[in-house]
Structure 1
Amino acid sequence: MHFAYIDIDQILCKKGLCMKKQSLVKGAFVLTVAAFISKMLVFSNSIVLSRVLGPEGIGLKKMVMPFMGLMMTLTTIGLPVAISRLVAEADAQGNREKVKKILIISLVITGSLSILAVFLSVFGGKVLARYFLTDPRSYNSFMAMIPIIPIGAVSGVLKGYFRGRQTMNPIAFAQVLEQIVRVCLTYVLVQQLIPLGIEYAAAGAVFSSVLGEACSLIFFIVMFKISHHRKFRVSGLRWSHAREAKKVLSELLQTGLPTTGNGFVMSVSRAMQPIVITKSLAMAGVSTALITRQYGMLTGFVMPLVFLPGFINQSLGATLVPAISEANAKNNLHLINRRLNQAVGVALIVGVPSTILLYIYAHELMSVIYHAPAAAPLLKLIAPFFLLNYLQSPLQSVLVGMGYAKRAMINNILAKCTTVALIYPLASNPSLGIKGVILAICIGVILETILHYFAVLKLTDYALDTPTIIKILGAGMAMGCIGRAFFIYLNDSLPQLGGTLILLTGILVSVIVYLLLLGLLKVIRRHNIIKIPLIGRVLYVLFPK
């Protein structure tokens, strides 16, 4: 299996060089690196906020953050994904006029919705803060959030354009730039505003997010102008051809609306689950205090660890949609299958060791990170099933890229409804309790993966790269056995090192063993490794040619 990576030196590329089309795995790698850096910056930002604002200020800020996400969903209505698909198709066909129409129509739609959202937010802010956010002091934070609505809407359109052009560098750099600006300005604004009151300091923290998004938008505009579309002219379009514009609008909404619908389904599902779970556990005879404790362990300890490597899936999904759209525009099913196998391979290379490490070190991870060893059985139960979650993103991206976003949405709805429906009969069983909740979630994951797989199979006659998958699974299981044996040896021989250091050493040795096994099995080759920034030239000697 062939994996290629982009050299981080391309960060220094100038003008048109940055706009060079990238391969599927190169683009995914760029976004993955950016996502990892962003996660670290977000973590640093959370530390700064927790120390300066305290729990009360953090609470005021967190109250408005869900509305920020909701506003972005309503104003973009899934258009970034639709734009990436249609731009990739138009680019493959050499149809620049259609690219112009896609961008202009998208900007008109998002601009109009942004104006409406801003109007409603400004005039309804006090009512929302008083009756829905439960604390009138959150009004300042809510008003500070409003400017991000039009800024984020335009950024979303340009992100979709760059994804469609399969040039992920601008998106990656903008993502990191946004977080750097946010982290730097958060401390400054909060310190300046905290003498006025905690509510103003929280608003300053929110406004730092707006300024970060604004810097990101400026960067996108600059990169768009220095691309080969810098001579982009609206006047060149013949708007008298209303039928063509209507067709483009229909194509945008065909993908955008199901994507938005899927987001709403996810939101509703997340809102309903706590209610159904607590009621079900109460029916099983679980005390209120224990329900709260078990639900907290599942959602606060177990699920964050399970989803920790999730940015890999997000990066793959973002790059795979336009890549599949391009191949679909050329009616090249062989290329679609090859790119899907590439994405599945990368997802499993990350997912298999993550799943195995969570399983074999469940007790140690829960003890060291959360001081909650009682949550370890829950992690061991759910981790193996969530390996399938790594397959969902590539499969769903193929459906969206081929124009079947509605099918993907229906699959997601069926899976989420099944999960919610099964929680009550399983969790209310006294012999299962909270484990019944996990089983319901896992059945939903299995069902969604199966539905996506058969939908893709029907469209493309897709064939899994079984030999490579077997090699990855074999390397992962061998890694688990060797790594765990080494961990036990250290724990017995050198207990004075401490649990945390022994755990980190065991995980590090496990990962090294896994990479070496992938090299020996020729899943990863030397020419793939040498292209990894910073450490590639050091590690490549360990891998066969």
Structure 2
Amino acid sequence: MSKKSLVTGTLILTLASLITRLLGFGFRIYQSQVMGAEGMGLYQLLFPIYMLLWAASSAGIAMAIAKMVAAEVSKGAEGNAIRVLKISLVISLPLSFVLSTSLFCFAPFIARYYIQEPVTELSLRILAACVPFMSTACCLRGYFQGHQEMSITALAQIVEQVGRMLIIYLLAGLMVPMGITYICALGVIGMCTGEVFSFMMSYIAFRIKKRHLTLTPATLPKKEAFNKLMALSIPVTANRFLTSGLQSFENILIPITLGQYGLSSSAALGLYGQFSGMALPLLFFPSMVTSSLATALVPAISEAVAMKNKALLQRTMSKAIQFSALIGIGATALFLTLPYEIAITCYGMKEVGQLLKWLAIICPFLYLQNILTGAMNGLGMQKQTFKTNVMGSLICIALILLMVPRRGIIGFVIAMLIQSGFVCSMLLSYVLKNIDLPVDIRNWIIRPSLAGILCSLITLTINKLYLIKLFSSSVSTILAVLILGGSYTLILFFIGCLSIKDVKSFLGSR
């Protein structure tokens, strides 16, 4: 790994994530207005099915391709890298067609008895069409990741989002008047179009790259390539499929248990749509930095382990945890300070603001979980991560069944908090123990919390005394968010929680 590969990879993925999320977030506002809360609720119920398909057809094989291609490219064996890609397509394409056909045929059963919403049958059958495109695109992106060409993955994310936005915008006027079945299908058509666009872009990029390569003869036996791909991909696929299945079950339980709480089917779907389709995307928006950092941490930590450089490993991990804490606590301050203002500005719905306020305390755990998962992967501790995530999901499912029928949506918020706290505590204990990392309570918790409290007080005061009197609601909210972010950052530097040296040492010490 080159000296600046960690920062370069992180910055490229973060920039792509920023562009994608800005596009997606702006479009989600439009989508929520077009589809309504109930339509968004149905669409969000289908998303876990999409993630199951991705886990089964793409998750493991893409990772395996990246590892094997990286190994072959490091030896100058580009012909072998191409062979790995071809063998992966031989594996993934038939599997994707089996999954696609199965989903199409069993859509009525899944809609009625698993999702328990028969109106999703049409959407499931449309979703089935995108599986081969998704699988092929993931294989191609795995090839580029093996070359450490993160820009292709980044561009594919942007193209996918643009394709999704474009088709929904064009078809909204036609399908929305046709009723809730077609409103839900509209969201799935957008999802499928995004996958097709991503595949087209990845394929074109591959064809262009191949023309400029000096191909060496392939010396890696096909059987050996096949066996290695299967050995690497099957454990990851099984892990991702099980965890995605548990998460899917969690999501489907929510509207069901909200019905047990006393809400009608329409009201339960609407509340679930506000929660998962509106509040959670806002909550996860700042996590683009930690997600990108977690992706780049895997090779960085793996290299430090291989070099047996304990000091570098500890320094890298400590700063990663600290930056995650700063972002998580800052996000908590933001959503506790301006929940209703943000919700009204984005969706025109004050109810979403209440959900944001409840969820705000979970931010540090959610963001830290990204970092710790990346660290665990870099340390080769995927089994422990898998066991912890499964235990966390089982705890969450039990709490949903116990609390949501009695407490409503706040019961699920409590379940999420307990689950996130448990998973983070377990993963953190594994990381601290394996690299002998001391806990820096002052810089990880105390100082960021102090900065969060101070910036909240400053923002509330300025917003109340000046902004809401001088500007419109939307403008005052945007200015308040900027003031909170700016004051938080300045306070962090002022109290010594963050310094230019810290940033440079983390980004450039390699």
Same fold (TM over 0.5): yes
Matched, 1:314 2:291: yes
Offset of residue 124 of structure 1? 5.2
Deviations 1:251-307 (A, max 9, x none): 33233321232222211222234444654x46xxx9999988977775566544433
**Count of residue pairs the alignment pairs up:** 499
Write the mapping of 1:49-198 to structure 2, written as runs, cut at 5 A.
Answer: 67-84=49-66, 103-121=85-103, 134-135=118-119, 139=122, 144-188=126-170
Partner of 2:219: 236
Select 1:485's aligned residue among 446, 455, 461. 461
Question: In 2 relative to 1, CA 363–449 (structure 1 residues): closer, same or farther, beyond 3 Å?
Answer: same
Partner of 2:235: 254
Report SS of the residue matched to 2:118: coil
Cα distance in 2 between the residues matched to 1:212 and 1:378: 29
Select 1:476's aligned residue among 442, 452, 465. 452
Question: In 2 relative to 1, CA 377–38 (structure 1 residues): closer, same or farther, beyond 3 Å?
Answer: closer
Report SS of the residue matched to 1:384: helix
Cα distance in 2 between the residues matched to 1:444 and 1:294: 21
Retained in 2: the 8 A contact 1:302–1:379?
yes
Cα distance in 1 between the residues matched to 2:126 and 2:351: 41
Question: In 2 relative to 1, CA 401–384 (structure 1 residues): closer, same or farther, beyond 3 Å?
Answer: same
Partner of 2:507: none
Instruction: State the structure with more CA Rg.
Output: 1
Report SS of the residue matched to 2:380: coil
Partner of 1:3: none
Cα distance in 2 between the residues matched to 1:27 and 1:293: 39
Cα distance in 2 between the residues matched to 1:179 and 1:238: 38
Report SS of the residue matched to 1:236: coil
The residue type equivalent to 2:291 in the other structure is Q
Offset of residue 456 of structure 1? 1.9
Report SS of the residue matched to 2:489: helix
Offset of residue 74 of structure 1? 2.1
Cα distance in 2 between the residues matched to 1:81 and 1:397: 13
Matched, 1:216 2:198: yes
Cα distance in 2 between the residues matched to 1:403 and 1:267: 26
Unpaired segments of 5 or more residues in structure 1? Answer: 1-18, 530-545
Deviations 1:356-400 (A, max 9, x none): 111122354456556665776664454224312211111111222
Write the mapping of 1:73-472 to structure 2, written as runs, cut at 5 A.
Answer: 73-84=55-66, 103-121=85-103, 134-135=118-119, 139=122, 144-188=126-170, 209-224=191-206, 230-232=213-215, 235-239=218-222, 242=224, 245-276=226-257, 279=260, 281=261, 302-366=279-343, 379-423=356-400, 435-464=410-439, 468-469=443-444, 471-472=447-448
Cα distance in 1 between the residues matched to 2:175 and 2:135: 30
Select 1:27's aligned residue among 1, 4, 9. 9
The residue type equivalent to 1:163 in the other structure is Q
Cα distance in 2 between the residues matched to 1:49 and 1:302: 14
Cα distance in 1 between the residues matched to 2:397 and 2:306: 38
Identity %: 27
TM-score (norm. length: structure 1): 0.73
Offset of residue 149 of structure 1? 1.5
Report SS of the residue matched to 1:388: helix
Deviations 1:524-544 (A, max 9, x none): 539979xxxxxxxxxxxxxxx
Cα distance in 2 between the residues matched to 1:364 and 1:410: 39
- Choose between structure 1 and 2: higher helix proportion: 2
Offset of residue 459 of structure 1? 2.8
Offset of residue 127 of structure 1? 7.2
Retained in 2: the 8 A contact 1:298–1:378?
yes
Offset of residue 163 of structure 1? 3.4
C-alpha RMSD of the superposition: 4.6
TM-score (norm. length: structure 2): 0.78
